[in-house]
Chain A
Amino acid sequence: MYNLVSYITLLPLLGFLINGLFGKKLHSERLSGLIGSGVIGASFTIAAMMFLEMLRTPVEDRSHVITVFNWMSAGSLSINVAYQVDQLSILMTLIVTGVGFLIHVYSIGYMHGDPAFWRFFAYLNLFIFMMLNLVLANNFLLMFLGWEGVGLCSYLLIGFWHDKKFDTGGYKTGSATTSDAAKKAFVVNRIGDFGFLIAMFLIFNLFGSLTFEDVFSRASALVTAGDKTIFWITLLLFVGATGKSAQIPLFVWLPDAMAGPTPVSALIHAATMVTAGVYMVARCSILYALAPATMEIVAIIGVATALFAATMGLVQNDIKKVLAYSTISQLGYMFLGLGVGGFASGIFHVMTHAFFKALLFLGAGAVIHAMHEEQDIQNMGGLKSKMPTTYKTFLVAALAIAGIPPLSGFFSKDEILFRAFTQGSVVFWLIGWVTAGLTAFYMFRLVSLTFEGEERWGHDKHPHEAPRVMTVPLIVLAVLSIVGGLVGIPVSLGGGNAIEHWLEPVFERAQTHLSTATEISSSLEYILMAASVIAGIAGIYLARLLYLKRTEVATKLSTSFKGIYRLLWNKYYVDEVYDVTVVTPTVKISDKLLWKGVDVNVIDGMVNVTAKLTAGASGWLRRIQGGVAQGYALAFVVGVIVILGILILR
């Protein structure tokens, strides 16, 4: 059964080859789309069968290594192309192929009429192939192959509509095209890859192998906790993760990456690729457990990113930008979970986030489609009646991300916050809690401005519901967003926290090095849960209050809201107070300081300065090449003197 694992990866590659080589000649969108999504569906089926098989087998027999072929061997270095099928990788595979399949199907509708339809599916299939290699690899090198590969596909897909202009939000106004965004994504990712590569060399030097099993089983014996080398290894790996998963300080590429087609944003920049960093850290959990200092850094970076990105999300008017900042923020949550030692909770949030964030992006795509490429939510509104299915599914996703029980986001986010409180510190929890409120706020600001209130779009637009091929994936994802959390119902609520037990063997080694949480009274758990629900509801309430208020009272709202509205209208000063004390400062701070200041000026500035310095050095260095042969001979003689100096004097 498990030998079939190579087909899981090969099928998408096959799809890529067919669409890539013959796609243009096929002249058929239907066929291209069918092949493109068919292979992913088949991969998903195999993965699901494997998962069922795994469910049947006892815990000890669930981890398998399937060697496909010997990749290379030279001296002490021997590496196979081999896949590790275990509880963690099968879960990731299911997410990648499952959500990937739905997004492929959706793309058939979304990309309809595009002249390079076949190319789009070829790239998407290649992406899935690379992503599967990333999550299934049994060694760091194969993982790195996938790691680089997904970066490359992301680059190709962001720049898919290469001549399209996009709004960078302040800098380089008017001149930026999607290809600039693509390049930015790739270059920033390479900075992260630099960390990954160096870490890989250090791992090889320390452990003498790059295979996960070898490295992880030797880790406890070879490394004492808090060792300097392991600190650097884990930190450098985490640098790689910050690049891929858009964390501080390398998050700048993700908002720009929204320039790509929306299914790409859903698949790559929300559901799968950006979670690769989380997966990698979880996979290396034992190494991180041995480096408590890095764990602390991971948690701090995670929680800081969660808060920063959420505040930035408050002021965005581009529907996809809001979602992009939201993704960064949610990824921060995942790293917070990992950093405090709740590896399973991080992976759990990866899963639920994949469902509801993919759903949000696909819903946004349907809206953008209906509004003829309009992305500014200020020019939307009232789409609820025009696009009922999209609205309902979008609402489900928004409620899930806002952490309203019993939707999936509630359980996973709550698990992370609970871990942060018990295994981390109160500060982590508090920041996470505030972020939860902000998340609910900006999501419902988005919902209100897009779907509710008055129609603010011109008469030339005729929004309509998306075709079936697009709405069916939305509905499936909506169902998953609702029930997805049920696998992780905490014990205190009468659930079994199935996902944590499922992943337990994978993180077993790491847990032995971590301080096990002391027994927590379930009353504390209830209090924390209640607190996060309150934060979520408060955020939603506030958002609706502020952004639906603008609509005239005459606008027909459902009667239940009417009462509340009247009430608020009369008590205007409450609004004022909110505005002055909470909203205006927050908006101002996030707009002026955090977004414009930190993001655009400092971090972009840093990237730009580095680029300028390199370009400057380049311009200066090339001047040495003066064109006259004697100058070259002079450099030669100087070199001779240096070499002889090294050889004789040292």
Chain B
Amino acid sequence: MDFLGSELLAIAPVLSVTILSLLVLVVESLVTDSEKISYWVSVFGLLICGAISISTLDLTGNVFNHMVNVGGYGSLFATLFTTAALLTVVLSRDYLRKEHVSFGEFYLLILFSTVGMMLMAAAADLIIIFLGLELMSICLYVLAGFMRKRSISNEAALKYFLLGAFATGFLLFGIALLYGAAGTTNISYIVENYGKLAASPLFWVGLGLLMVGFAFKVGGVPFHMWIPDVYQGSPTTVSGFMATGAKAAAFSAFILVFAHQEFESGEKVHTALAFIAAASMIVGNIVAISQSNVKRMLAYSSIAHAGYMLAGLAAGNQLGRTGILFYLVTYTFMNIGAFGVLSVLEREEEKNLTFDDYAGLGTKRPFLAALMSIFMLSLAGIPPFAGFFGKYYVFVAAINAHLTWLVIVGVLTSVISVYYYLRLVMMMYFQESELQFTQPSSVSSLAVLTIAALAVVEIGVFPSSILSLINNLY
């Protein structure tokens, strides 16, 4: 009992969010008109869970018979996921009311998918990664179709569901083959015996399929096709959550399996990753140019950003790993912020989502426009905003790994990307229109967006604050 107690304590971050989810589930089933209570329980619960995650940062080791890692890496991601969930929950309340779908289940699903994400980041075994991934994905399928009266939301959910399940099949087949080659699903065992296993073709097919499965979740080209449609059709705050939390979770698992010293000689793996990275940067950035819907543009931009992060993974060195983690933290804030501004300005029936609708926002809603400009400039990678340093790190890592061609592709495409991010800034400040943005935005939404913007600026000016956290992990 004592033994079990200490193990339960060790996974406190995951456990606390699980308990919170179950609590909201009980509230949902017992209380009529539960939306308000669920909201507040989720907000305060997530604050506590975030604090718990931070407090476990210094722990090390693994529990439950080498199934789950404790502290460090997992806790850092747990903090990131709870933050993303918290920001999403607060932003969603107004949005859901506006869209007339304010049901308490929404928060429940967000919380459960957060549990899934945290499991992925804390996994020491491929089984846990699979379970976490599925828990997260199944909740997100439902969230994507949350506005069930709208055919666009239905379509997003169906596409996400079918392609997600399809990709799960590949991921699972990869796990099965790795198990066949190694005789275990323990990640560190597989990584340590990489030299021995590399002779078996079973191992390579398994590793390849696993890579494909993760690449699908992070949105790497050519496994990215679902992203634009799903992000466009889903409720805007959910799109933000998917683009940050779900992507970060997929990356956390990706790093767990693929970023190891042992692979540094394994050039094949890095070639494959570099291929996906380059394709993502090119396709994401170039197609984003011709989008007229801001939400869809952000979807393509998220594909491009996945490409930049994959470049860090392809570098396969210490700096690359640090770079991706740093990138993920900054990306979470700027992207939730960008989707958040979108959700505040959006009106029923998908109005106010095109570039033209943003004309003159600079004079009509100066504060929101300023926040959006910060997010856009950061996404474009313009210093001193946080987005620049993320890119900078992964590029330095790739240069050190002699992937100069990849860096040239990266810098060139990021030059292209400035065009479409700036187009929105231009629309807001340099254009006029009669369109009114009369609907008020709630204080809580604005507060959350301000926090996200401050984080983007703070991390950009003092990147050491985050970097020291990340450096402690390795």
Measured CB to CB, the residues of A under 8 A from B are 69-77, 141, 144-145, 148-149, 152, 156, 159, 162-163, 177-179, 182-183, 186-187, 190-191, 193-194, 197-198, 201-202, 204-205, 614-615, 617-619, 621-622, 624-625, 627, 629, 631-633, 635-636, 638-640, 642-644, 646-648, 650
Q: Which residues of B contact A190 (CB under 8 A)?
A: 415, 418
Shortest A195–chain B CB gap in Å is 9
**Alpha-carbon distance between A193 and B209 when the two chains are bound, in angstroms:** 39
By beta carbon, the residue of chain A nearest B271 is A646
Measured CB to CB, the residues of B under 8 A from A are 158-159, 162-163, 166-167, 170, 201, 204-205, 207-209, 211-212, 215-216, 221-223, 225-226, 228-229, 267-269, 271-272, 275-276, 283, 286-291, 318-319, 322-323, 326, 377, 382-384, 388-389, 392-393, 395-396, 399-400, 407-408, 411-412, 415-416, 418-419, 422, 426, 429-432, 462-464, 467, 470-471
By beta carbon, the residue of chain A nearest B272 is A646
Shortest B87–chain A CB gap in Å is 24
- Can you name 28 A-B residue pairings with CB atoms under 8 Å? A71-B464, A72-B389, A74-B393, A75-B318, A144-B383, A152-B382, A159-B430, A163-B430, A187-B418, A187-B419, A191-B415, A198-B411, A614-B286, A621-B283, A622-B291, A629-B226, A632-B226, A635-B225, A636-B222, A640-B208, A642-B222, A643-B275, A646-B271, A646-B272, A647-B208, A647-B268, A648-B208, A650-B267
Shortest B414–chain A CB gap in Å is 9
In this complex, the member of A183, A625, A635, A643 whose beta carbon has the largest number of chain B beta carbons within 10 angstroms is A643
| 8 Å CB contact of B167 from A76, A159, A636 | A636
CB-based closest 4 A-B pairs: A632-B225, A179-B430, A162-B430, A639-B222
Question: A631 and B170 in contact (CB under 8 A), knowing A179-B430, A182-B430, A187-B419?
Answer: no
B287 x A632 contact (CB < 8 A):
no
A202 x B399 contact (CB < 8 A):
yes
B399 x A201 contact (CB < 8 A):
yes
A-B contact count (CB 8 A): 171
Q: Which residues of A contact B430 (CB under 8 A)?
A: 159, 162-163, 177-179, 182
Q: Which residues of A contact B223 (CB under 8 A)?
A: 635-636, 639
A643 x B419 contact (CB < 8 A):
no
**Alpha-carbon distance between A642 and B273 when the two chains are bound, in angstroms:** 11
In this complex, the member of A71, A179, A622, A648 whose beta carbon has the largest number of chain B beta carbons within 10 angstroms is A622
Question: A197 and B411 in contact (CB under 8 A), knowing A640-B209, A644-B205, A650-B268?
Answer: yes
| 8 Å CB contact of A640 from B212, B286, B392, B426 | B212
| 8 Å CB contact of A194 from B205, B322, B383, B411 | B411
Q: 11 other contacts beyond A162-B431, A621-B286, A640-B170, with CB at 8 A cut-off?
A: A71-B463, A74-B470, A204-B399, A615-B289, A615-B290, A621-B283, A624-B225, A635-B223, A636-B216, A639-B276, A647-B207
Shortest A313–chain B CB gap in Å is 29
Q: Which residues of B contact A621 (CB under 8 A)?
A: 283, 286-287
**Alpha-carbon distance between A552 and B414 when the two chains are bound, in angstroms:** 59
By beta carbon, the residue of chain B nearest A69 is B462
A179 x B212 contact (CB < 8 A):
no
By beta carbon, the residue of chain A nearest B291 is A622
Q: Which residues of A contact B432 (CB under 8 A)?
A: 163
B275 x A642 contact (CB < 8 A):
yes
A633 x B166 contact (CB < 8 A):
yes
**Alpha-carbon distance between A69 and B463 when the two chains are bound, in angstroms:** 11
Shortest B275–chain A CB gap in Å is 6
Shortest B175–chain A CB gap in Å is 15
Q: Which residues of B contact A614 (CB under 8 A)?
A: 286, 289, 416
Shortest A532–chain B CB gap in Å is 41
Q: Which residues of A contact B226 (CB under 8 A)?
A: 629, 632
A636 x B322 contact (CB < 8 A):
no
Question: A646 and B275 in contact (CB under 8 A), knowing A74-B471, A77-B396, A152-B377?
Answer: yes
**Alpha-carbon distance between A619 and B292 when the two chains are bound, in angstroms:** 12
**Alpha-carbon distance between A141 and B212 when the two chains are bound, in angstroms:** 36
Q: Which residues of A contact B431 (CB under 8 A)?
A: 162, 179
By beta carbon, the residue of chain B nearest A632 is B225
Shortest B309–chain A CB gap in Å is 16
By beta carbon, the residue of chain B nearest A75 is B319
Shortest A16–chain B CB gap in Å is 13
By beta carbon, the residue of chain B nearest A24 is B366
B463 x A72 contact (CB < 8 A):
yes
Q: Which residues of A contact B269 (CB under 8 A)?
A: 647
| 8 Å CB contact of A183 from B268, B377, B426 | B426
Q: Which residues of B contact A646 (CB under 8 A)?
A: 268, 271-272, 275
Q: Which residues of A contact B464 (CB under 8 A)?
A: 70-73
By beta carbon, the residue of chain B nearest A635 is B222
| 8 Å CB contact of A204 from B291, B396, B422 | B396
By beta carbon, the residue of chain A nearest B384 is A145
Question: A625 and B225 in contact (CB under 8 A), knowing A148-B382, A149-B384, A633-B166?
Answer: yes
Shortest B230–chain A CB gap in Å is 10
**Alpha-carbon distance between A598 and B383 when the two chains are bound, in angstroms:** 34
Q: Which residues of A contact B167 (CB under 8 A)?
A: 636
Question: A145 and B471 in contact (CB under 8 A), knowing A179-B426, A204-B399, A635-B222?
Answer: no
Q: Which residues of A contact B467 (CB under 8 A)?
A: 72-74
B399 x A636 contact (CB < 8 A):
no
B212 x A639 contact (CB < 8 A):
yes
Shortest B147–chain A CB gap in Å is 19
**Alpha-carbon distance between A159 and B388 when the two chains are bound, in angstroms:** 24
Shortest B218–chain A CB gap in Å is 13
Question: A629 and B287 in contact (CB under 8 A), knowing A162-B431, A204-B396, A643-B208?
Answer: no
Shortest A276–chain B CB gap in Å is 15
Question: A201 and B166 in contact (CB under 8 A), knowing A75-B318, A646-B268?
Answer: no
**Alpha-carbon distance between A163 and B225 when the two chains are bound, in angstroms:** 39
By beta carbon, the residue of chain A nearest B201 is A648
**Alpha-carbon distance between A244 and B272 when the two chains are bound, in angstroms:** 37
Q: Which residues of A contact B205 (CB under 8 A)?
A: 644, 647-648
By beta carbon, the residue of chain B nearest A648 is B204
Question: A644 and B208 in contact (CB under 8 A), knowing A198-B411, A621-B286?
Answer: yes
| 8 Å CB contact of B290 from A622, A629, A635 | A622
Q: Which residues of B contact A643 (CB under 8 A)?
A: 208, 211-212, 215, 272, 275-276
Shortest B117–chain A CB gap in Å is 23
Shortest B384–chain A CB gap in Å is 5
Q: Which residues of B contact A617 (CB under 8 A)?
A: 286
B322 x A75 contact (CB < 8 A):
yes
In this complex, the member of B223, B323, B395 whose beta carbon has the largest number of chain A beta carbons within 10 angstroms is B223
**Alpha-carbon distance between A642 and B470 when the two chains are bound, in angstroms:** 33
Shortest A46–chain B CB gap in Å is 22
Shortest A115–chain B CB gap in Å is 10
In this complex, the member of A183, A187, A197 whose beta carbon has the largest number of chain B beta carbons within 10 angstroms is A197
Question: A636 and B382 in contact (CB under 8 A), knowing A75-B322, A646-B275?
Answer: no
Shortest B242–chain A CB gap in Å is 16
| 8 Å CB contact of A650 from B162, B228, B271, B418 | B271
Q: Which residues of B contact A204 (CB under 8 A)?
A: 396, 399
A647 x B272 contact (CB < 8 A):
yes
Shortest A75–chain B CB gap in Å is 5
A183 x B166 contact (CB < 8 A):
no
| 8 Å CB contact of B422 from A71, A145, A183, A635 | A183
